Structure 1
């Protein structure tokens, strides 16, 4: 009887992990649609190519070495280098072995859930560097980001490893439930480094300091992408509970879903009202970014706040993102989709909000942890971007940028005005 109960719990938790992983994978579609809508039509095919290619690269590089760096303390899975590998063990783990080791879900499901998080972090970069970066330079960076940069900071947090042999961030009181800092701020730090190396799009900023709006091509896609991401976030945060097969964890999952939704709603309302006060109009892009900001803000701790507190945390994120987008424009940091503001600036707020409801976290631990993640990702990313610039160049020519990168990089227009044929 007891064995049957364990088997049922194992099956339920494994299935829950896989379904949540699939929801997070679906966020890749959300990023693709959001970014495709926010860029100009002449750059749409390339941004879509980036999104599908980066997902494939992330899955492959994390399989080869990323997961082992993050959780195994080594470098490669055994099929490549002949050493022990958590990936190889996970892919061959049986239910019986799982019980003996105290696990309540398949190791393979854990790997699948982790790998889609890596792709999410890399997806944040693609929108920020849109419309002027070479496709192959971006994909080369994706290899390094998903194989090494992200797994290293993941090892110091979720992996439990020491930072360069000195300390473990969790021991300092750092807590990040589902990745406001580990995933979102990290992606934004890599994006910021890339944007600084790239420079702004031509025509974005005038010689006298004026800021020229470059509107996206498809607001329906932006809205669709936002709703897809909103939906996928239930897997992102809900799956991070890691269990479902008992009463306590089932209640925790329900609260995480509730708070995740509440924070997104709060972010939309706050951003929409603030945009109306600042610009005199109901700005759809700010409303969408407000939803994402609320989601990023609650991701660091969605299990302990009350629903009302979660709404407030999300609303503050919605306010922050509007000010951040405007502020970055004023200092001429050109981010076509607002990714650095949504995932980076609000990611910091998400980390700082954790001690407000979670007694196990401290403000000092959150600050040290956040700084460690940001400095590591930003500095290493900057080195990689500068190396790629020296080796192959990272920015397309002025002519290609003017004509659009779709034809030059992909040989295909997303919205051809007409098709010739016989």
Structure 2
């Protein structure tokens, strides 16, 4: 029998129970922070030599020189040519769908002229160089390459630098093949906080980048937070989450497996079901109990469901949407008859999967939208990774002779009101 909380919105302490369930302390402890800060300082001071030493120590292989840490592009092509045809076809299909979706996100420059000839506008330019962190070792995620590299390429990023840890010196063929297909420009077999520091500050071999994106462990997340300001970052992500809102008419086995799909990531992942149909919730619990022993990652799933999972009975679908908005989940499944109507009530979610046939894993791999999503309730104020994360905007201002007179008088009054007389006089010099 699996252990998972069973809650009801009619419980007197429901809100308190829910908030305790959602609480996630993502701040690294002092020991992790201290370790990461030491690594970053060392990389800044000793560059390639420090990077080489950390890689040999943590990944357990002997690179003789720093140059050995770079993976030749020919090695990526070799990986692509040697993976099975079925994997090639799947990667091509996913790449095409993800690229087409992200093409629609491209921001364009614009401007307009006012009656007196003043021009105002916005210039959109891509970042020059971006660093992509891809997890390695047991966790090999070619989908991470696609979801981070493709929006950067669509945005027009000039150079994409990929870092990937290689425990024991072993490279993952599928990850390299994905990098080849996505047009990654350079790849380094380094990982951990040292890789993030190398991307942020440069080492000689690894060039400094403008932004670091991609998932990693607690050391990688802590390093990204530490270098933010020197470079941009995508986000500091917490554990994966799924919330299924169901009207009680979906196959309970489907729902149970959807909950498993996120719980299998790690023991801290969160899987929640909410439905107004108590009998259906009970059937989903039965499906969980029956299907869990058949799962390869049963211990991880069981731990995640016990620690952070929940089955919630609510009064009606309106209340389900209110609870969903409070949770602000990374992945939200609206497994209902008319999702297009229900979605109008959703304000906070990273990605919304609508209808009974839209399983969350389709979004992870090949639907098209990005799978890099806000977690830990940050969907209240942030968005999925996209092309816009690899573009920046510059304001355009070209004031005409007449405009300098009109705007200058306004600026002068406001500047003198703030006591900034040089501001005022700069504007006043151009008055007629």
Give the TM-score category using the shorter length. under 0.3
> Using CA pairs below 8 Å that are at least 6 residues apart, which structure has the higher relative contact order?
1
TM-score by length of 2: 0.24
TM-score by length of 1: 0.24
Larger strand proportion, structure 1 or 2? 2
Larger helix proportion, structure 1 or 2? 1
